[in-house]
């Protein structure tokens, strides 16, 4: 007990109510005040190592503890100078923010539903290291599906014009894995405003069957159908890292928002930005079209976090706590 008392004294806390004091810090740090309140007591929160350090200790804020498959949580570690999060063996980078470090953790379509642990490793300005084990529960997403009937190929159809295009997926995968300095700022915005002639024609994660076959796969983005030529806007600040005609997604623009967050916009009729261009949230990057493998004018919008494709619509409605 004496050791514990000295440890607390070094932190400026008393034996009278360390939990209450820490709880107060947590509530002050978290405007919503809910993620922190349910967490464990002192030993879990201050997992030792940085003995002798001064100043406030890192405090975790998790926006949401029951993410869906294909969802994401916003994670902040206040008072930390660096941190990474790990779940299901994947590492999500966190980037400097106004109060410490922050970022997103994505959950894939195949992540198993049920309890899981979000592990966070953080360090502070004087070399203290801290580890947190945050309980979360992944919820099963009820996927939508689309049964597609296609006519058999026409043997008399002329060959497609122009040189054959390489499938773009390997290059997209490589781009989605990159981590550059953070540019994004909350909130994220929808590429094409819904309403009128613009509607969601395909949800993220949707499964498809062709000509009566089994429903398989998961749609990697959100399809928004809109009249040809409708402006398409980037969901957040960033740098254009790809802008070209591709085999599947047609005219495609990829924007790197930094901190491991990237978005892509496919089937455009025209692209209005080139690689290297800095864009601001809501800036027009192209126009709705039906290029590539597409059955009608729409934008295919993907959002990736540390290489994991997630449902962009969930980033817009506040249901994930950010
Ligand atoms: Zn699509």
User: pLDDT tens digit string along 153-172?
Assistant: 777 877 666 666 778 999 99
Q: How far is the CA of 225 from the centre of ligand 1 (A)?
A: 10
Q: How far is the CA of 206 from the centre of ligand 1 (A)?
A: 9
Beta bridge partners of 304: 262, 309
Q: What is the pLDDT of residue 209?
A: 87
d(CA 28, CA 84): 23
Q: How far is the CA of 136 from the centre of ligand 1 (A)?
A: 30
Alpha helices in the chain (DSSP H): 2-10, 18-29, 42-45, 169-176
d(CA 74, CA 123): 19
Q: How far is CA 64 from the centre of its chain?
A: 13
322 vs 24 pLDDT, higher one: 322
Which tens digit of pLDDT belongs to each residue from 212-261? 888 889 999 999 999 999 999 999 999 999 999 999 999 999 999 999 99
Q: How far is the CA of 272 from the centre of ligand 1 (A)?
A: 20
Q: Please check whether residue 19 is in contact with residue 45, taking contact to mean a CB–CB distance below 8 angstroms.
A: no
d(CA 237, CA 256): 8
Q: How far is the CA of 14 from the centre of ligand 1 (A)?
A: 57
**What φ, ψ does residue 10 adopt, rounded to 5°?**
-65, -25
Q: Please check whether residue 91 is in contact with residue 85, taking contact to mean a CB–CB distance below 8 angstroms.
A: yes
**The model's pTM:** 0.80
Q: How far is the CA of 144 from the centre of ligand 1 (A)?
A: 13
Q: How far is the CA of 290 from the centre of ligand 1 (A)?
A: 11
Q: How far is the CA of 53 from the centre of ligand 1 (A)?
A: 51
Q: How far is the CA of 186 from the centre of ligand 1 (A)?
A: 25
Which pairing describes strands 278-279 and 284-287: parallel, antiparallel, or unpaired? unpaired
d(CA 284, CA 240): 12
Host H or E run for residue 242:
strand 238-246
Q: How far is the CA of 169 from the centre of ligand 1 (A)?
A: 14
Which tens digit of pLDDT belongs to each residue from 56-85? 889 999 999 999 999 999 999 999 999 999
Q: How far is the CA of 249 from the centre of ligand 1 (A)?
A: 8
Overall average pLDDT of the 77-103 stretch: 95
Strand arrangement, sheet containing 95-97:
59-62, 72-78, 100-106, 95-97
Domains of the chain: 1-37 (no CATH), 57-142 (2.60.40.10), 145-158+168-315 (2.70.70.10)
């Amino acid at each position: 007990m004496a050791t514990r008392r000295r440890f607390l004294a070094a932190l400026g806390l008393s034996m009278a109510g360390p939990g209450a004091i820490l709880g107060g810090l947590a509530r002050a740090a978290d405007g919503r005040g809910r993620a922190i309140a349910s967490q464990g007591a002192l030993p879990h929160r201050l997992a030792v190592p940085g003995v002798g350090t001064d100043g406030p200790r890192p405090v975790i804020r998790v926006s949401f503890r029951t993410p869906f498959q294909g969802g994401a949580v916003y994670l902040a570690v206040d008072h930390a100078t660096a941190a990474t999060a790990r779940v299901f063996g994947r590492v999500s980078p966190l980037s400097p923010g106004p109060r410490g470090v922050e970022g997103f953790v994505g959950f894939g379509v195949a992540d198993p539903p049920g309890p899981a642990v979000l592990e966070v490793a953080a360090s502070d300005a004087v070399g203290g290291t801290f580890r947190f084990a945050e309980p979360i529960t992944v919820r099963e997403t009820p996927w939508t599906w689309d049964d597609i009937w296609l006519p058999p190929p026409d043997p008399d159809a002329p060959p497609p014009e122009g040189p054959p295009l390489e499938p773009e997926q390997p290059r997209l995968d490589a781009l989605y894995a990159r981590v550059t300095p953070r540019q994004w700022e909350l909130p994220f915005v929808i590429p094409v405003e819904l309403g009128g002639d613009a509607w969601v024609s395909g949800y993220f994660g949707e499964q498809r069957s062709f000509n009566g076959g089994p429903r398989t796969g998961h749609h990697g983005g959100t399809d928004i159908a809109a009249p040809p030529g409708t402006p398409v806007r980037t969901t957040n600040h960033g740098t254009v890292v790809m802008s070209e005609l591709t085999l599947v997604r047609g005219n495609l623009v990829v924007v790197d928002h930094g901190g491991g967050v990237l978005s892509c916009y496919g089937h455009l009729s025209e692209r209005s930005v080139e690689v290297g261009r800095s864009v601001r949230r809501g800036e027009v990057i192209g126009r709705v079209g039906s290029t590539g493998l597409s059955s009608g004018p729409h934008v295919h919008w993907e959002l990736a976090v540390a290489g994991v494709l997630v449902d962009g619509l969930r980033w817009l409605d506040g249901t994930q706590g950010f």
